[in-house]
Amino acid sequence: MRIASHLKMPVQRAQDEITSSEFLEWVAYLDDEPNRMKTEYYYLAQLATIMNNAFAKKPSRIENFILKFTTKRKEKKMSKEQATAISKSKWFAGVGYKG
């Protein structure tokens, strides 16, 4: 739907006209879209830098005010025993087992 919307065409037409490799390229492009720098974001970061540097004792750089969006969650490292205990507790709770 996002690809068809981006291309301003009906979903059925997009499915008929886009190859699988092109589809994968579009998916990668649209997944990265939130991190693509837009002119307004850069302008607002520049304004924030100017305001900060006018009033702060320690000057900042524009990079400190540029927004970055991530979609991946950081997974916590755990031992096999911890993972097993969590899995067991979820399964036991799901089936109503009280051991």
Q: Are residues 28 and 42 in the same domain?
A: no
Q: Are residues 49 and 63 in the same domain?
A: yes
Q: Are residues 24 and 4 in the same domain?
A: yes
Cα distance between residue 99 and residue 89, in whole Å: 10
Confidence band (pLDDT; 50, 70, 90) for 48? Answer: very high
Q: Are residues 31 and 1 in the same domain?
A: yes
Q: Are residues 25 and 43 in the same domain?
A: no
Q: Is residue 65 part of a domain?
A: yes
Question: What size, in residues, is the chain?
Answer: 99
Confidence band (pLDDT; 50, 70, 90) for 35? Answer: low
Q: Are 64 and 51 in contact (CB under 8 A)?
A: no
Q: Give how many domains the chain has, as a whole number.
A: 2
pLDDT tens-digit readout, 52-69: 999 988 889 988 888 776
DSSP state of 35: G
Where does 1-99 show beta strands of DSSP type E?
Answer: none
Which structural domain range is residue 41 located in? Answer: 37-71
Dihedral Cα 28, 33, 38, 42, nearest 10 deg: -100
Q: Are residues 23 and 41 in the same domain?
A: no
CA count, 13 A, side-chain hemisphere, 41: 12
